[in-house]
Amino acid sequence: MKKFLALMLAVLMLALCFAGCAQQKTIVVGYTIYEPMNYVDDSGKLVGFDTELAEAVFGNLGYKVVFKEIEWKNKYTELDSGAIDCIWNGFTCNAADDDGIQRSEKVDFSYNYMENLQVVVVKDDSGIAAAADLNGKIADAEIGSAGESYAKSFEGIVFKGATKQTDCLFAVKSGTADFAVVDNQLAKSYCGKGDYANLKIVEALSSDVEYYAIGFKKGSELTANVNAQLEALAKDGTIKALAEKYGVANTAITDYSSQK
């Protein structure tokens, strides 16, 4: 009898385990490769500030996180079609797209969680130091990004356009573009290092301060839930620790009181 009861208990435990696994909710996060926010390390693992923060936030909400690499120009289509549940990848919220429509009219944004700038990247010996020097030059920026809009704000430029921000840096390095406009977070991770040792940021041509936020479908209940988790993770020191780990401690935001 005892053996029978033990067997039944084991079967019940196994059934509960399978039931729990079956009920595991999944969340799909849309991203692009963008160090230090989302990138693949030497072991082949997807890491980065946004990657780990997304895992912490959605883990606390009971979700299994699936990351889906997207083309940035297709981010709204991916979100609206349900292919992804949110856009979390250094997504500038206080900007308009190339069509002139504010991004906040297209998606619901979380709290701003990081400061950023659009910066101009050139070769060390380019001679580019001021806006006037960009006239007639070939510009590269990720299509659909805040960088594209900022690049096009300079008079007389010839816009090229690329699928990824890292492609823009390569275009400058290889000479197929005279300058690139990319996020400051990414530029600081690449310029002056390794394969991009001969690239630099022209500080005088940087944009005004921008802010990163997470984008959700209009009316999504996820927005408020994620905001609550951002507050909790700021309070317990998780966000600060991740910011220090990925070198963004000076730009990460951990006080959301003014955004409520």
Beta strands in the chain (DSSP E): 25-31, 39-40, 46-47, 63-69, 86-87, 108-109, 114-116, 118-123, 138-140, 158-159, 179-183, 199-202, 210-212, 215-216
Task: Determine contact, residues 89/31, Cβ cutoff 8 Å.
Answer: yes
Q: What is the pLDDT of residue 14?
A: 53
Q: 61: which 2 tokens?
A: 């909400």
On average, the pLDDT of the chain sits at 92
Q: 260: which 2 tokens?
A: 């409520």
102 or 20, greater pLDDT: 102
State yes or no: pLDDT of 179 exceeds 50.
yes
| Position 23 confidence tier, pLDDT thresholds 50, 70, 90 | low
From 37, 21, 18, select the one nearest 248 (Cα to Cα).
37
- Give the three-state DSSP class for 117: coil
- Give the three-state DSSP class for 194: helix
Each residue's pLDDT tens digit, 144-162: 999 999 999 999 999 999 9
Task: Determine contact, residues 129/221, Cβ cutoff 8 Å.
Answer: no
Provide the 10 A C-beta neighbour count for residue 48.
Answer: 24
Fold match, 18-114+211-255 / 118-207: yes
Q: How far is the C-alpha of 258 from the C-alpha of 260, rounded, in Å?
A: 6
Each residue's pLDDT tens digit, 97-135: 989 999 999 999 999 999 999 999 999 999 999 999 999
Q: What's the burial of 235, exposed, middle or buried (CB within 10 Å: 0-12/13-18/19+)?
A: exposed
Residue ranges covered by each domain of the chain: 18-114+211-255, 118-207
Q: 103: which 2 tokens?
A: 């991004």
Q: What is the pLDDT of residue 98?
A: 86
| Position 174 confidence tier, pLDDT thresholds 50, 70, 90 | very high
Share of residues in the chain with pLDDT > 90 (%)? 89
| Domain 18-114+211-255 in CATH 3.40.190.10 | yes
| Domain 118-207 in CATH 3.40.50.2300 | no
